[in-house]
């Protein structure tokens, strides 16, 4: 059974960089086939996809956040990480990591999340 | 403002059936596969339906999904009090701003 666990500071100051790590157990990131993703949920409940990384290091980010988001992977530690720069109070949310299933033919795309971490609340405040 | 549109809330009595709609556009639901997630209070979302109408192992057949044009629907039959949760649809958007997108979520109340 695959399990994901987020870790990182629960409080970040405005203008600083939010950093989170997702540790995967029960499966190896380097096996390939999955797109390791970050998703956040605002206090008002909406979900926002932030981006994904493949085991090879290939990434794809939400265009609206592209300039502030960086996702990296460390296959030796079986974890992947999120950095969100220049945060403001509007970035306060519960952050989830998830295992993404992605496929595309050029005519259609499939993208869904079959395993999720429990989520971690990050508050941006001075 | 979510890319996909869902009703904020639906309700039905135990044992009844309910449907939750998810409306998108030609660049997302119109051409791509839809997934559905259940979020019980205080927990992470859980995959209910993928590829429009497929259920992961362990999801009862009371849950079903369908898609027509640029809209998708989640159906739940034989409602139970334990089904009371938030439900989200998701897909890939293939527009110039391509990426994963979600609906705003629907709160299901089992009366």
Instruction: Say yes or no for a CB contact (<8 Å) between A110 and B32.
Output: yes
Nearest CA in chain A to B2: A46
Nearest CA in chain A to B92: A111
- Residue-level pLDDT at B106: 97
Task: Calculate mean pLDDT across residues B86-109.
Answer: 95
Per-residue pLDDT 10s for chain A (126 aa) are 999 999 999 999 999 999 999 999 999 999 989 999 999 999 878 899 999 999 999 999 999 998 999 999 999 999 999 999 999 999 999 999 999 999 988 788 999 999 999 999 999 999
- Residue-level pLDDT at A107: 83
- Residue-level pLDDT at B1: 82
Chain B residues touching A112 at Cβ < 8 A? 33, 35, 47, 50-51, 90
Task: Calculate mean pLDDT across residues B58-87.
Answer: 97
Closest Cβ opposite residue B51 in set A51, A107, A110: A110
B65 interfacial to chain A (CB closer than 8 Å): no
Closest listed residue to residue B74, CA positions, set B1, B14, B6: B6
A96 interfacial to chain B (CB closer than 8 Å): yes
Q: How far is A116 from chain B (nearest CA, A)?
A: 7
Question: Quick check: B35 pLDDT over 80?
Answer: yes
Q: How far is A51 from chain B (nearest CA, A)?
A: 8
- Residue-level pLDDT at B26: 95
DSSP per-residue codes, B1-56? --SBB--SEEEE-TT--EEEEEE--TTTTTTS--EEEEE-TTS--EEEEBTTTB--
DSSP per-residue codes, A31-76? G-S-EEEEEEE-TT--EEEEEEE-TTS-EEE-TTTTTTEEEEEETT
- Residue-level pLDDT at A44: 77
């Amino acid at each position: 059974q695959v399990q994901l666990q987020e870790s990182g500071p629960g409080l970040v100051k405005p203008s600083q960089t939010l950093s989170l790590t997702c540790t995967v157990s029960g499966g190896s990131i380097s096996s390939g086939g999955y797109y390791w993703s970050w998703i956040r949920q605002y206090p008002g409940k909406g979900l926002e996809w932030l981006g994904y990384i493949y085991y090879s290091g290939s990434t794809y980010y939400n265009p609206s956040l592209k300039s502030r988001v960086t996702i990296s992977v460390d296959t030796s530690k079986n974890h992947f990480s999120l950095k969100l720069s220049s945060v403001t109070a509007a970035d306060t949310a519960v952050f989830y990591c998830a295992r993404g299933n992605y496929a595309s033919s050029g005519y259609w795309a499939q993208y869904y999340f079959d395993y999720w971490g429990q989520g971690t609340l990050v508050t941006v405040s001075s | 403002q979510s890319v996909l549109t869902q009703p904020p809330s639906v309700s039905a009595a135990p044992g009844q059936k309910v449907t939750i709609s998810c409306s998108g556009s030609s660049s997302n639901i119109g051409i791509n596969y839809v997934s559905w997630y259940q979020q019980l209070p205080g927990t992470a979302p859980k995959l209910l339906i993928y590829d429009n109408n497929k259920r992961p192992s362990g999801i009862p057949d009371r849950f079903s999904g369908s898609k027509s044009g640029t809209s998708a629907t989640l159906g739940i039959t034989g409602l139970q009090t334990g089904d009371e949760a938030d439900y989200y649809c998701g897909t890939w958007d293939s527009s110039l701003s391509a990426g994963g997108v979600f609906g705003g979520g629907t709160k299901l109340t089992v009366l």
